[in-house]
Amino acid sequence: MKIVKVIGSLCLINSASAFAPSRCTMSTHRSSSLHADVAEAESDVAAITTDPKEAVKLFGRLAEKYIMLDSTAGMCCYSACSDCEYREPGGGYRMADQSSARPKWIPCYDHREFGSGKEHTTKWSTDIFTEGPAVTKEEFIERVKKIEFAPPLGGPFLAKSAAAIEDESAAAALFDILAGEKEKLTRFRMGKEMKVISGGEEGVTWNHFSTALGAK
């Protein structure tokens, strides 16, 4: 409501100075709202502080060793052709999928399937949303705690025997980041918000994750 009032005031001021009615369009309102949302999100992230060891306990439960990326990249022959449309500016290739020796990514999708027949269902989508498309904060925390931990790529090293979640504050903070002001977190929203955390990439890495939780 404050944004609407401010925009309305600006429209009146412009109208008075020009001695003619001013057009206050919906695009202006949307732009102002977007900037306000971004500023609020940045403020919320800045206010979060998490022990890196507690954050890695979550990341090691949600991250995976495999991720599916760009389905069209699977058509590349990887022969270093000079005019290859699948080459990155830095010289690398766009990859259809990637694997890692240790869990490295939290995929931003719940399920993905390529025309080649490859498909992947993420463990967060099956281990958290076990009984439907939405969970409460309490359900989210309890189900994350039950996911098997594996030492991930990134963050402080923790052995599996030392990765039990006793302090639930980090898991609660992660729910708040993903769900916003909603009482329940949906599978769709979780994927969407992780895409935001990753900066538009297909998977959330430790660097993205630790930044979002203030675990630097």
Say if strands 97-99 and 66-68 run parallel, antiparallel, or are unpaired.
Answer: antiparallel
| SS3 call for 87 | strand
User: What is residue 214's predicted lDDT score, i.e. its pLDDT?
Assistant: 96
| pTM greater than 0.75 | no
Q: E strands, the chain, where? A: 66-68, 97-99, 106-107, 111-113, 119-121, 134-136, 184-186, 203-204
User: What is residue 175's predicted lDDT score, i.e. its pLDDT?
Assistant: 98
Length of the chain: 216
User: What is residue 121's predicted lDDT score, i.e. its pLDDT?
Assistant: 97
Rounded Cα distance, 25 and 23, in Å: 6
Element of type H or E holding 77: none
Rounded Cα distance, 106 and 65, in Å: 9
Contact 44, 27 (CB under 8 A): no
Q: E strands, 39-178, where? A: 66-68, 97-99, 106-107, 111-113, 119-121, 134-136
In the chain, the amino acid numbered 126 is T
User: What is residue 39's predicted lDDT score, i.e. its pLDDT?
Assistant: 46
User: What is residue 167's predicted lDDT score, i.e. its pLDDT?
Assistant: 96
**How many CB atoms sit inside 10 A of residue 205's CB?**
20
CA distances from 11 to 3, 35, 60, 107 (A): 12, 18, 51, 44
Rounded Cα distance, 56 and 59, in Å: 5
User: What is residue 47's predicted lDDT score, i.e. its pLDDT?
Assistant: 73
pLDDT along the chain (216 residues), means of 10: 41 41 41 45 63 98 93 61 66 75 97 88 97 97 98 96 97 97 97 96 97 93
User: What is residue 117's predicted lDDT score, i.e. its pLDDT?
Assistant: 84
Residues sharing a CB contact under 8 Å with residue 122, sequence separation 6 or more, in sequence order: 64, 106, 107, 109, 110, 111
At CA 166, angle to CA 160 and CA 169, rounded to 5? 115
Q: What is the DSSP letter of 118?
A: -
User: What is residue 101's predicted lDDT score, i.e. its pLDDT?
Assistant: 96
Rounded Cα distance, 53 and 31, in Å: 38
